[in-house]
């Protein structure tokens, strides 16, 4: 009689177990549907650390992304909207994630571990020591080539079970697939350039640095009058009235401004009385000098006092003639505002305004000290006016100041004067006061020197080499 042996049949799951497994499968399918419904990558990251709790019973979740150096950087954490990268706990978790990423096998889908499995430096970390979680589930996120670009770390107090590890690996695969749909794989894994590029790129860059280019500097510029006549205060006093307006055309001999002459008129009246007194005293002494020796001795003194009084009156009358300051030539009155000078005291020689020929203009450029190497006599200048930025005006450097001076904004700059070389209609559009940016062309240098001139100068100033 032949006897046949067969393996025992596995026990059929009970109805309760089938119902429980069916509910778990339903939750997993709903979770994957919700993952596919996320509208963008930030929403998906927040979903991964918060809404996956319905399937994976964790207390804390952290989503890591690997940077191009292979270091783990926390991108999202459960319970918070945004991760503060400088927070002590986040920095400690980055160290934990970096250690786990460095010890993850290429084919590993998940890893269960406890605090005891961590290295001593992580176990003794004061921040991680206060983290109330002892069991961890590490779920790598991989691209289509199998490279890990991130991971999901789940933490809780109770140890993780093998069944939860399988479900976690499934959820991690779904999350990775969704993230790859939002971002190209090239942005989620480290870039590995070919060897020929690593060897040839420095040579190409070095050759490009040898290309000759003209040294240039861009500086603020203004159209100013060429050889204006400065009208200065002829004497000390207070300006009573400005007879012209800014940019008003004037003719030679026209009154520009008038002094307050009340004091001078009063001084003139006093001087005339003193002159009359001195003349009367001199006449009296002359009559008495025939019989009085004392009168003859005082005669020379009285004559000197008369001449002094006459000179004082002439001085006052001369100043009264200067009360009205007139234009020295035909042109335009150049100054800022009438209110700047009315009722204002001025000193002798102080500049009040300029009279300039509006047809003769030049370009004034304030070149910063750091760009002084671009300055050369007879250099070419390109002007871009603020009022007409699409068109270019050309000029040529006429003079360069020997010393730098402080200009508006507290910057030290060299004053450069240039003559316009444009003719015709474009030249006729120029007027005093127009401003813009000027590009001053200098000598030809290598592209590398042009690009790194300022960093080299700053390094030498810092190190003294």
Q: Which residues pair with 229 in a beta bridge?
A: 355
Please classify residue 129 by burial: count the beta carbons closer than 10 Å to its beta carbon, then call 0-12 exposed, 13-18 middle and 19+ buried.
exposed
What is the Cα–Cα distance from 444 to 459, expressed in whole angstroms? 23
What is the Cα–Cα distance from 175 to 179, expressed in whole angstroms? 6
pLDDT the model gives residue 3:
38
pLDDT tens per residue across span 86-143 = 888 989 998 998 898 888 877 778 889 898 889 888 888 888 888 888 899 999 988 8
What is the Cα–Cα distance from 401 to 412, expressed in whole angstroms? 12
Q: Are residues 131 and 96 in the same domain?
A: yes
Inside any domain, residue 210: no
Inside any domain, residue 102: yes
Q: Are residues 377 and 336 in the same domain?
A: no
Q: Are residues 160 and 118 in the same domain?
A: yes
- Tell me the Ramachandran region of residue 179: left when phi exceeds 0, alpha when psi lies from -120 to 50, beta otherwise: alpha
Mean pLDDT across the chain: 82
Inside any domain, residue 57: yes
pLDDT the model gives residue 19:
54
Question: If you average pLDDT over each of 144-148, 345-349, 428-432, which comes out highest?
Answer: 345-349
Q: Is the pLDDT of residue 5 over 50?
A: no
pLDDT the model gives residue 16:
54
Residue 160 CB: number of other CB atoms within 10 A? 23
Inside any domain, residue 8: no
Q: Are residues 371 and 352 in the same domain?
A: no
Q: Is the pLDDT of residue 190 over 60?
A: no
Q: Which pLDDT band, with edges at 50, 70 and 90, does 227 fall under?
A: confident
pLDDT the model gives residue 313:
79
- Give the range of the structural domain holding residue 305, as residue numbers without chain letter: 262-322
Q: Are residues 184 and 82 in the same domain?
A: yes
Q: Are residues 335 and 406 in the same domain?
A: no
Lowest mean pLDDT among 73-77, 123-127, 381-385, 442-446: 442-446
pLDDT the model gives residue 374:
66
Q: Is the pLDDT of residue 61 over 90?
A: yes
Question: 3-state SS of 154-172?
Answer: EEECCCCCHHHHHHHHHHH
Domain endpoint, select from 276, 302, 322? 322
Count structural domains, the chain. Answer: 4
pLDDT tens per residue across span 208-224 = 888 888 788 888 998 88
Q: Are residues 171 and 38 in the same domain?
A: yes
User: Which residues fall within 8 angstroms of residue 334, CB to CB, at 6 or more apart?
Assistant: 225, 228, 246, 247, 353, 354, 355, 356, 432
**CATH classification at residue 419:** 2.40.30.170
Inside any domain, residue 151: yes
Inside any domain, residue 5: no
Q: Are residues 302 and 339 in the same domain?
A: no
Q: Which pLDDT band, with edges at 50, 70 and 90, does 193 fall under?
A: low
Q: Are residues 171 and 287 in the same domain?
A: no
**CATH classification at residue 347:** 2.40.50.100
Residue pair 127/96 in contact by the 8 Å Cβ criterion:
no
pLDDT tens per residue across span 393-438 = 888 888 888 888 888 777 888 888 898 887 766 666 778 888 899 9
Q: Are residues 431 and 337 in the same domain?
A: no
Residue pair 381/440 in contact by the 8 Å Cβ criterion:
yes
Inside any domain, residue 414: yes
Q: Are residues 58 and 135 in the same domain?
A: yes
Inside any domain, residue 219: no
- Tell me the Ramachandran region of residue 237: left when phi exceeds 0, alpha when psi lies from -120 to 50, beta otherwise: left
Q: Which residues pair with 417 in a beta bridge?
A: 364, 399
**CATH classification at residue 53:** 3.30.450.40
Q: Are residues 386 and 349 in the same domain?
A: no
Total residues belonging to the chain = 465
Q: Which pLDDT band, with edges at 50, 70 and 90, does 185 fall under?
A: low
pLDDT tens per residue across span 262-299 = 877 777 788 788 878 878 877 787 777 767 777 777 77
Residue pair 118/124 in contact by the 8 Å Cβ criterion:
no
What does pTM read for this prediction?
A: 0.46
Residue pair 418/408 in contact by the 8 Å Cβ criterion:
no
Structure tokens at 302: 């009285």
pLDDT the model gives residue 13:
52
Structure tokens at 69: 């150096």
Structure tokens at 121: 């430096």
What is the Cα–Cα distance from 380 to 376, expressed in whole angstroms? 9
């Amino acid at each position: 009689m032949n006897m046949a042996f067969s393996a025992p049949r596995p026990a059929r799951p009970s109805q309760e177990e089938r119902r429980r497994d069916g509910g778990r499968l339903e939750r997993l399918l709903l979770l994957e549907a919700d993952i596919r419904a996320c509208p963008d990558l930030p929403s998906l990251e927040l979903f991964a650390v918060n809404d996956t709790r319905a399937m994976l019973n964790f207390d804390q979740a952290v989503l890591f992304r690997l940077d191009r150096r292979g270091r783990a950087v926390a991108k999202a954490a459960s319970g918070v909207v945004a991760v503060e990268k400088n927070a002590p706990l986040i920095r400690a978790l980055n160290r934990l994630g970096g250690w786990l990423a460095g010890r993850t096998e290429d084919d590993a889908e998940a890893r269960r571990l406890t605090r005891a499995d961590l290295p001593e430096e992580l176990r003794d970390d004061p921040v991680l020591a206060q983290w109330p979680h002892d069991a961890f589930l590490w779920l790598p996120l991989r691209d289509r080539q199998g490279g890990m670009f991130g991971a999901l770390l789940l933490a809780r107090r109770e140890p993780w079970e093998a069944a939860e590890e399988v479900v976690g690996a499934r959820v991690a695969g779904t999350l990775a697939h969704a993230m790859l749909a939002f971002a190209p794989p090239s942005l989620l894994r480290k870039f590995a350039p070919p060897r020929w590029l690593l060897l040839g790129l420095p040579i190409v860059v070095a050759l490009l640095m040898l290309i000759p280019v003209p040294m240039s500097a861009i500086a603020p510029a203004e159209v100013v009058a060429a050889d204006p006549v400065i009208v200065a205060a002829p004497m000390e006093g207070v300006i009573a009235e400005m007879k012209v307006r800014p940019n008003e055309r004037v003719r030679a001999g026209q009154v520009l401004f008038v002094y307050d002459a009340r004091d001078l008129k009063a001084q003139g009246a006093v001087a005339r009385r003193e002159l009359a007194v001195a003349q009367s005293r001199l006449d009296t002494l002359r009559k008495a000098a025939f019989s009085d020796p004392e009168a003859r001795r005082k005669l020379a003194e009285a004559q000197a006092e008369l001449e002094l009084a006459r000179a004082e009156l002439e001085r006052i009358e001369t100043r009264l003639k200067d009360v009205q300051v007139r234009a020295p030539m035909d042109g335009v009155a150049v100054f800022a505002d009438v209110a700047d000078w009315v009722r204002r005291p001025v000193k002798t020689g102080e500049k009040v305004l300029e009279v300039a020929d509006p047809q003769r203009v030049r370009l004034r450029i304030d070149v910063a000290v750091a760009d002084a190497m671009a300055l050369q006599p007879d250099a070419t200048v390109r002007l871009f006016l603020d009022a007409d930025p699409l068109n270019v005006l050309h000029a040529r450097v006429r003079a360069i100041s020997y010393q730098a001076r402080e200009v508006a904004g507290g910057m030290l700059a060299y004053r450069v004067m240039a003559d316009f070389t444009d003719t015709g209609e474009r030249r006729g559009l120029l007027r005093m006061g127009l401003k813009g940016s000027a590009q001053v062309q200098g000598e030809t240098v290598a592209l590398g020197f042009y690009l790194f001139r300022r960093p080299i100068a700053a390094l030498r100033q810092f190190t003294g080499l």
